[in-house]
Amino acid sequence: MKAIYKPLITEKSMAEAEKGKYSFIVAQSAGKKDIKKAVESSFSVNVVSVMTTVVKGKRKRIGRNRQKVSASIFKKALVELKSGQKISLFELGA
C-alpha cells in the first residue's frame, strides 16, 4: 500500500514548513504509524508527530441546469520533524 500520494504545497503549508511541519495528501486507509514509516523511509528524517484530517469536498453548482457536484474527499497529514531536519522538496528554489 502506498501511504503518501503527494506533498500539499500551499501558501499556508509553506509557512508551516519553515517551522518544521510538512503537509501531505495520503491514502484514506493509511494510519498515523503507516504515514510516519513512509515519511521516514522516503526522506530519511525523524518524525516527531503526525496529525491527520479528512478534508470534505466542497459542493459546486455547474452546468446549464445548475447541478450540484461535490469535489472529491481526501485525507491530509501534517508531519512534524525533529528540530533541525528539513525536507528539501518544500524549500523554495529547490
Domain ranges of the chain: 4-89
Give the pLDDT of residue 91: 80
Give the pLDDT of residue 93: 60
Q: From CA 21, how far away is CA 39, in angstroms rounded? A: 12
CATH for 4-89, among 3.30.590.20, 3.30.70.330, 3.30.9.10, 1.50.40.10?
3.30.70.330
Q: Which backbone phi and psi does 41 adopt, to 5 degrees?
A: -80, -35
Give the global pTM. Answer: 0.84
CA distances in angstroms from 54 to 58, 64, 68, 80, 81, listed in the order given? 13, 31, 21, 18, 21
Which residues does residue 63 pair with via DSSP β-bridges, in sequence order? none
Helical spans, DSSP H, in 1-94? 11-17, 32-43
Q: Tell me: the pLDDT tens digits for 23-67?
A: 999 999 999 999 999 999 999 999 999 999 999 988 888 888 888
